[in-house]
């Protein structure tokens, strides 16, 4: 086994044919650009960037943005060519079509990759997502806290701003903490993040991927704008389904729209966590889904305090 590579991690990375092909194509070429690599593989841009991020310890970019193998990548490339010292019977196991379909549905990483891999595009999308969400919340005089929408009697812009800031901080911190816990339990912590100082640095910087997470946050919260948008349509059509005197939705229609909004945020966050933190899709989905329960607990606390 190559020095510095955990066998289980390597087997997981190379379980997919596309990732093995990337290693082989880059190794055969010596260095290759993104367009040429995508054409040789015959895959989409989103799929290419997703798999390259999974292989970030094995494939890097030079100063001309060509993809080259790292030292570890070169060792793996030689193993792939000679097929020595690797359990290829385990590597060649194929996931069932049902599991593959579930991963594509619940963790659509192909949708996330363009936003986190292109800084300017990601920043613009994040700004637009935040603007749309804030505009719809202001229009309906709603307040968003984590993944729950509230209709308080005394609405204020300051209150909305505080709740949105709290939502961003709590979501960032929650995902960072659970992602870090998963990485440490699975033994995947990079050397630079080991120790107490390394732990704090990783929690603050989201494992060194804080820019990607900041771009992901507004995008993940954007589906929650569906609720104030539906309330606006309800008000225009005078249907009366969103005219609640209680801070939380109290009609079947309003609750259904809230659930759909939360599911949308769950899908985006799950895909983002899987992509940004190089996390297995079912773990990312579990962490993302748990945020809905956290928001439910927070909602009960707010109502009981209020």
In this model, does residue 97 exceed pLDDT 70?
no
In this predicted structure, what is the pLDDT of residue 90? 45
In this model, does residue 221 exceed pLDDT 90?
yes
235: tokens are 């008000």
In this model, does residue 182 exceed pLDDT 80?
yes
Q: Which neighbouring-strand residues pair with 59?
A: 69
Distance, in Å, from the CA atom of 13 to the CA atom of 22, rounded to the nearest integer, reads: 11
- What pTM value is reported for the model? 0.76
In this predicted structure, what is the pLDDT of residue 56? 81
Sequence ranges of the domains in the chain: 7-94, 103-305
Contact 185, 163 (CB under 8 A): no
Calculated CA dihedral for residues 299, 152, 260, 54, nearest 10 degrees: -60
Contact 26, 69 (CB under 8 A): yes
Q: If you average pLDDT over each of 12-21, 31-40, 79-88, which comes out highest?
A: 31-40
In this predicted structure, what is the pLDDT of residue 11? 65
Confidence tier at 163 by pLDDT (50, 70, 90): very high
Q: Give the residue with greater pLDDT, 120 vs 224.
A: 224
- What separation in angstroms does the CA of 218 have from each of 14, 124, 128, 155, 225? 32, 11, 9, 22, 11
Contact 133, 222 (CB under 8 A): yes
User: According to the CATH classification, is domain 7-94 in 3.20.20.70?
Assistant: no
**Once rounded to an integer, what is the mean pLDDT over residues 259-273?**
93
Confidence tier at 116 by pLDDT (50, 70, 90): confident
% of the chain residues with pLDDT over 70: 85
Nearest to 56 by CA among 117, 118, 110, 122: 117
**Once rounded to an integer, what is the mean pLDDT over residues 22-45?**
90
For 31: left if phi > 0, alpha if psi spans -120 to 50, otherwise beta; the answer is: beta
Distance, in Å, from the CA atom of 270 to the CA atom of 288, rounded to the nearest integer, reads: 5
In this predicted structure, what is the pLDDT of residue 110? 66
In this model, does residue 165 exceed pLDDT 60?
yes
Nearest to 255 by CA among 279, 278, 226: 226
In this predicted structure, what is the pLDDT of residue 281? 80
In this predicted structure, what is the pLDDT of residue 9? 62
Q: Which neighbouring-strand residues pair with 145?
A: 148
Give the pLDDT confidence of 199-215 residue by residue, as tens digits: 999 999 998 889 889 99
Q: What are φ and ψ of residue 40, in 5° steps?
A: -65, -35
Q: What's the mean per-residue pLDDT of the chain?
A: 84
Give the pLDDT confidence of 272-306 residue by residue, as tens digits: 898 888 787 889 999 999 999 999 999 888 777 65
């Amino acid at each position: 086994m190559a020095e510095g590579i955990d066998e289980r991690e390597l087997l997981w990375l190379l379980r997919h044919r596309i990732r093995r092909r990337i290693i082989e194509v880059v190794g055969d070429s010596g260095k290759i650009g993104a367009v040429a690599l995508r054409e040789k593989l015959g895959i989409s841009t989103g799929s290419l960037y997703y798999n390259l991020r999974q292989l970030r310890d094995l494939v890097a970019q030079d100063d001309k943005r060509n993809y080259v193998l790292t030292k570890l990548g070169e060792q793996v490339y030689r193993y792939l060519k000679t097929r020595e010292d690797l359990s290829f019977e385990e590597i060649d196991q194929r996931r069932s079509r049902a599991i593959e379909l579930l991963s594509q549905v619940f963790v659509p990483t192909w949708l996330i990759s363009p936003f986190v891999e292109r800084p300017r595009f990601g920043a613009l999308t994040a700004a637009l997502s935040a603007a749309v969400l804030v505009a719809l919340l202001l229009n309906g005089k709603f307040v968003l806290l984590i993944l729950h929408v509230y209709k308080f009697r005394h609405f204020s812009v300051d209150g909305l701003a505080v709740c949105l800031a709290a939502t961003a901080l709590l979501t960032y911190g929650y995902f960072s903490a659970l992602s870090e816990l998963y990485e440490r339990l699975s033994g995947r912590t990079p050397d630079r993040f080991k120790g107490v100082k390394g732990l704090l640095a990783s929690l603050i910087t989201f494992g060194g991927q804080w820019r990607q997470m900041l771009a992901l946050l507004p995008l993940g919260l954007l589906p929650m704008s569906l609720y104030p948008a539906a309330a606006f349509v309800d008000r225009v059509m005078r249907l009366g389904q969103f005219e609640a005197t209680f801070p939380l939705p109290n009609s079947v229609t309003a609750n259904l729209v809230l659930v759909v909004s939360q599911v949308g945020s769950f899908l985006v966050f799950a895909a983002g966590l899987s992509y940004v933190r190089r996390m297995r899709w079912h773990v990312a989905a579990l962490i993302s889904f748990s945020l809905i329960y956290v928001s439910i607990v927070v909602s009960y606390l707010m109502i009981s305090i209020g």
